[in-house]
Chains A and B, each alone.
Chain A
Amino acid sequence: QQQVKQSPQSLIVQKGGISIINCAYENTAFDYFPWYQQFPGKGPALLIAIRPDVSEKKEGRFTISFNKSAKQFSLHIMDSQPGDSATYFCAASKELGKIIFGKGTRLHILP
């Protein structure tokens, strides 16, 4: 049973455009929703995270939108740059920090 569903699998966006990656979760006990960014040959690194008591969180060009009733959340990358090309994982967790990851989205920003 896949607890965190992520889409799309891959995404190509023009430089300066908006990249949008969507995730849906099933377990209402999840209380922490991070996004991780992974460059080729590197380990994932936390990009931005949100808790269900807020509907949006913004850090620079990166924004998480959270819809608790729909059990969905999304990552928006504004003014996408070639340096943003990476694989992005949404995730959800509860208790003891055990994180359930989505399957990832490979983002490519065209120069």
Chain B
Amino acid sequence: NAGVTQTPKFRVLKTGQSMTLLCAQDMNHEYMYWYRQDPGMGLRLIHYSVGEGTTAKGEVPDGYNVSRLKKQNFLLGLESAAPSQTSVYFCASRSTTEDTQYFGPGTRLTVL
């Protein structure tokens, strides 16, 4: 039982490049979330999903897209990366029966 895993762990992009971050969970959780963490800003919700095939915007969705084609996977895409998207990205999941969110280990992204 690996919990929540994220791929890749680190990535450096040039401005304008695109990439996809993958989150996978093996706990059969319905809900999944993408956050970004910046120094002094805490964790801010980018997008979330309440089930396979559904997604919704969070607090800071601009510049990002997501997809939840399979229940266990939640993908975060950056179509045209900008330096302002340099951050650490965390994925989390939760079941429908408890409030606890389980976080992955994070992806550190640098956009030059």
Contact = CB atoms under 8 A, between A and B. Distances in A.
B34 to A, nearest CB: 12
Contacts of A102: 42
Nearest to A46: B100
Interface in B47-68: 48, 50, 58
Interface residues of B, number: 22
Contact of A43 (B40, B48, B100, B103): B103
A12 interface: no
A76 to B, nearest CB: 21
Interface string A8-34: 010000000000000000000000101
B90 A44 contact: yes
Interface residues of A, number: 21
Interface string A66-102: 0000000000000000000000010001001111011
Interface of A: 6, 9, 32, 34, 41-46, 49, 89, 93, 96-99, 101-104
Interface of B: 4, 31, 33, 40-45, 48, 50, 58, 90, 92, 94, 99-101, 103-106
15 contacts: A32-B99, A42-B105, A43-B4, A43-B103, A43-B104, A44-B43, A46-B100, A49-B100, A89-B42, A89-B43, A93-B99, A96-B31, A98-B48, A99-B101, A103-B41
